[in-house]
Structure 1
Amino acid sequence: MEYVVKRIDSLFSVSGQLTPDDLPDVKAKGFATLICNRPDHEGGADQPDHLTMERSALASGLVFRYVPILSSGATDEQAHQLATLIEGLPKPILAYCRTGNRSARLYAAATKGASEKPCYDVVVIGGGSAGIAITSSMLKRDASMRVAIVEPCSEHYYQPAWTLVGGGAYSIQDTARPMGSVMPKDAYWIKASVSAFAPHRRVVLLSDGAELGYQQLIVCPGLQLAWEKIEGLEETLGKNGVTSNYRHDLAPYTWELVRSLRSGKVLFTQPPMPIKCAGAPQKAMYLSCDHWRKNGVLESISVEFNLAGPALFGVATFVAPLMKYVETYGAQLAFQSNLVKVDGPGKTAWFEVADGNGNVTRVEKTFDVLHVVPPQQAPDFIRRSELADKAGWLEVDPTTLQHPRYPEVFGVGDVCGTTNAKTAAAARKQVVIVAQNLLALRKGAELPGRYDGYGSCPLTVENGKVILAEFGYGGKLLPTFPMDPTIPRKSAWFLKARLLPWFYWNGMLKGREWFTDCSSK
């Protein structure tokens, strides 16, 4: 029978009975030490004794230890013995018994003393928009809770304004503040990175080896920009006319390129979904074209928007008004065209282009300016964890935002494997849902909050006008204001460029939940 490895944490795993033939594969899986917790002759002649297993382990390059535990369970002395033993053993460790259960219980007992670790009512992973807002929201509701935020960065960014920076309509300095200045004063800031989760033990493992215990866990680290997936991109970003509004230090370079260009070819790109703020790739194009038009040089510039997907926007209602701007600016659309390689000094980009039959060809295009939106994915420590769904995102119920297998775990923001738009506006609504549901869970009550998939994408179609796209699951329109949402408006520009940044710093991050009616509809 094939053995199955069950991962307890990043350092320790367990399995059922092994045989000598399994040990080369155990070594190949990366384990350094093997511990036998099953007493010899417990299961009859077909059970290899520990001496046989030790010889095979050593032959396979594994360190071997024998710590037999009766089926009645481990004693305190045996737990202490294992705790002392594993300190000096090479990691990671695989322990086995008949089913793996004794080994798991022994490890839990052995680490209990060492894991009289800092334990909080709630641990929040991530100090971005979602993390700061949910912490503030919970502490406003119950200031007695011990809430820790795990966040390694020293700066906090208002990322929605980076598109405006790239269009010359916002100052980059106004998009960043020290993390300490936005951290809720009653929260515990753990300035560290997460390496793994041990949800069965309700523990977060940090990169420095420390552990944090929790009663409830809120996972909101955002997503990861995978620049490395485009060949040649990283070494040319910020020079050779290659830029991106998706990075704080590059958005000003976008504006530098836009305002200095008088003629030439400009390529804008959009990778496969999901990405944060799905409208941002084309917003960069609209603001650039508007500037070139107002300065009388647009006719001398060839503009092309390469989208990996088959449609300009995911909600059909907004496609027609956006197409009017595409036509006004004379931009060319290249659908199912995905950027895969860049030669910055050579001013050349390569795209994989799919036809209607699914055939893919590689197309070479030259450029004077290239605005890149990188592929995006869940952070590595999420993708390799037990909390991930099949696609690597945090698995949550799309309405309650509670993990389906670990009910004490909730998710907020871009990391969630839900179909809503990944925007700060979505996080703003999700924060209220999770705060309500988590506090209900702590009281043993039914979860009251239901998320409808709300997200907002203020589409900056020109400097001074915005199409305010607000929608939920299935593309259902969810406008905040009683106006036609497809019409570009100056008032929506004021909302995007002035009111929302002010509200972000002074409202959302402070736990003030204006315009967040999340009652079930």
Structure 2
Amino acid sequence: MTSLVMVVSCPPTRLLASFLQRGSQQASKFQLHTGTPSAAKDYYEFLVLGGGSGGITMSSRIKRKVGAENVAIVEPSEKHFYQPLWTLVGAGAKKLSSSSRPTASVIPSGVEWIKSVVRELDPDDNCIRIDNGKKIAYKYLIIALGIKLEFEKVKGLPEGFSYPKIGSNYSAGTVEKTWKALQDFKEGNAIFTLPNTPVKCAGAPQKIMYLSEAYMRKTGKRANANIIFNTALGVVFGVKKYADALEEIIKARDLHVNFRQNLIEVRPEKNEAVFEDLDSPGSTKVMSYEMLHVTPPMGPPDVVRGSPVADVAGWVDLDKETLQHKKYPNVFGIGDCTNLPTSKTAAAVAAQSGVLDHTISLVMKNQKPVNKYNGYTSCPLVTNYNKVILAEFDYSAQPLETFPFDQSKERLLMYLMKADMMPFLYWNGMLKGYWRGPAFLRKCLHLGRD
């Protein structure tokens, strides 16, 4: 945090530094929970499905409403990851170990941890089934099951990761392979992909491209590298202001972007990747690579897809303003497993948690929810080892920036926020239920104008 404060020079950023200092002092009072998984009871007032960012955050908030003994989290994993850090792990700027903590340490003290997989959702009977067949009933349900990585939908994966030139920043088991492939790169094509599905943190596939290019320049390999971004989308970024800034960087650094190209197969024994042209169905192109970063296809969790809580595409079907289920008033959702029409990021979860907290409070009183989620999300676009464009926007894909300066410019301050401040806020603020995004800070910095 010292390095961040040192670069602060203007009054708005001094306000941010003061805010962070107070947060640090408050966080020092927090005690880590060191509980262990428990035998599930038959009924809980609040049942939270998923121990990721949304599930832990909402459990912390709900605990303060109804008491820890009335809340349970269903989560099978022993480790909890702060996944936004994996962009920097894949580029060698952070260690994988710095992105994880034991799940037991982040579950709110006193909240029951049911270490299991959710096998069935039965909202008509207000219950779920877990992997041992046990039925657990609830009064209120919060679904925070995240998104499913589907590497297997690319022919040749995931077995292709056993070869040395393929990596992916999207899983704990493959992110370090990205860094190894980058270090081993000598010359040829370095290809980065974005699939034809919803993904979490849609900016991440190109962040690693910018960092790889910077690393190659630093190590003298850039002259022999052809850096390619094959994206299934038709634009480099969904918000024009930031897309324009990124296009300038792409041009200045001689990067090659091919739109509407979807990875469908890898041939790791030949170092070949096969792409489908989405504007010409059935047409494919084979490209050789010396390094390949794969962003996998993604989809809703299996237990959600086809269940009563899902929409036609398989995502949890929510009112986009209240985060309450459209059919089941005692069911709520948050994060990547939902059909909220905004980018799936940790920043979005933080903003959603504040709205959902208010929604649940009113529903518990048989009142109509009034707080409205505006679709706020954030994507720190890492463009170098010391620069970030901080993209912030809403449902309308319009910038919704926190700071009173142009965030489409590359800045060191924004990199320090990404690398150091945001992880601190995540572990010590958001997961504890005390950080709901920068809306209040934005109003202060913009003198009350949002």
What range describes the TM-score normalised by the shorter chain of this pair?
Answer: 0.7 to 0.9
Separation in 1 of the partners of 2:419 and 2:159? 32
1:215-260 Cα distance to aligned partner (Å, 9 max, x none):
1100011000011100011111142301101011221221122123
C-alpha separation in 1, matches of 2:410 and 2:67: 42
Query: Quick one: distance in 2 between partners of 1:126 and 1:285?
Result: 31
> What SS does the corresponding residue of 2:380 show, helix, strand or coil?
strand
Distance 1:213 1:517 in 2: 36
Query: What does 1:108-257 align with in structure 2 at a 5 Å threshold?
Result: 118-143=42-67, 146-257=70-181
Match of 1:468 among 390, 406, 412: 390
Structure 2 counterpart of 1:409, from 318, 331, 337: 331
Task: Quote the Cα distance in structure 2 between the aligned partners of 1:424 and 1:238.
Answer: 30
Separation in structure 1 between the aligned mates of residue 257 and residue 356 of structure 2, nearest angstrom: 39
The one of 301, 315, 328 equivalent to 2:252 is 328
* 2:20 paired residue number: none
| Cα distance, 1:297 vs structure 2 | 1.6
Q: 1:315 to 1:283 in 2, by over 3 A?
A: same
Q: Which deviates further from its counterpart, 468-477 or 290-299?
A: 290-299
Rounded Cα–Cα distance in structure 2 between residues aligned with 1:439 and 1:173: 37
Find the aligned partners of 1:208 and 1:214 in 2 and give their Cα distance.
Answer: 18
CA shift at 1:145, angstroms?
Answer: 6.4
Q: Do structure 1's residue 337 and structure 2's residue 249 form an aligned pair?
A: no
Deviation, 1:186, is 2.3
Equivalent AA in structure 1 for residue 211 of structure 2 = L
RMSD over aligned Cα, in angstroms? 1.8
Amino acid at match of 2:254: G
Aligned-partner Cα distance in 1 for 2:309–2:424: 35
Q: CA deviation at 1:174?
A: 0.5
Judge conservation of contact 1:440–1:447 (CA < 8 Å) in 2: yes
The 2-side partners of 1:330 and 1:416 are apart by 37
Q: Give the aligned partner of residue 27 of structure 2.
A: none
- 1:504 is aligned to 426
Query: Partner residue of 2:196?
Result: 272
Question: Distance between the aligned counterparts of 2:306 and 2:118, measured in 1?
Answer: 12
8 Å Cα contact 1:432-1:516 kept in structure 2: no
Q: Hey, what does 1:350 align to over in structure 2? A: 274
Does the 8 Å CA contact 1:287/1:461 hold for their aligned counterparts? yes
Unaligned runs of 5+ in 2: 1-39, 444-448
Contact 1:240 1:347 in 2 (8 A): no
Report the secondary structure of 2:335's partner residue. coil
User: Does 2:223 match 1:299?
Assistant: yes
Equivalent pairs: percent with the same residue? 38
**TM-score between both structures, scaled by the size of structure 2:** 0.87
Question: 3-state DSSP class of the match of 1:498?
Answer: helix
SS of the aligned residue for 1:275 comes to coil
The answer as to whether partners of 1:217 and 1:408 remain within 8 angstroms in 2 is: yes
* Alignment check: 8 A CA contact 1:137 1:432 kept: no
Where 1:236 maps in the other structure, the secondary structure is helix
2:361 is the counterpart of 1:439: yes
2:299 to 377, 389, 412: 377
The runs of at least 4 consecutive aligned structure 1 residues that moved more than 6 Å come to: 518-521
In structure 2, how many angstroms separate the alpha carbons of the residues matched to 1:299 and 1:322?
21
Matching of residue 285 in structure 1 with residue 209 in structure 2: yes
Structure 1 residue 328: deviation in Å? Answer: 2.5
Residue type of the alignment partner of 1:288: S
1:399 to 321, 345, 351: 321
Residue 514 to residue 308, structure 1, CA distance change in 2 (3 Å): closer
Asked whether the equivalents of residues 121 and 145 of structure 1 are also in contact (C-alpha less than 8 Å), the reply is: no
Q: Secondary structure at the match of 2:263?
A: strand
CA–CA distance in structure 1, aligned partners of residues 95 and 68 of structure 2? 39
Which blocks of at least 5 consecutive residues in structure 1 are unaligned? Answer: 1-115
Match among 311, 318, 322 for residue 389 of structure 1: 311
Distance in 2 between residues matched to 1:214 and 1:457, nearest whole Å: 35
User: Which protein has the larger Cα radius of gyration, Structure 1 or Structure 2?
Assistant: 1
Q: Which amino acid aligns with 1:287?
A: L
TM-score (norm 1): 0.75
What pairs with 1:446-465 in structure 2 (closer than 5 Å)?
446-465=368-387
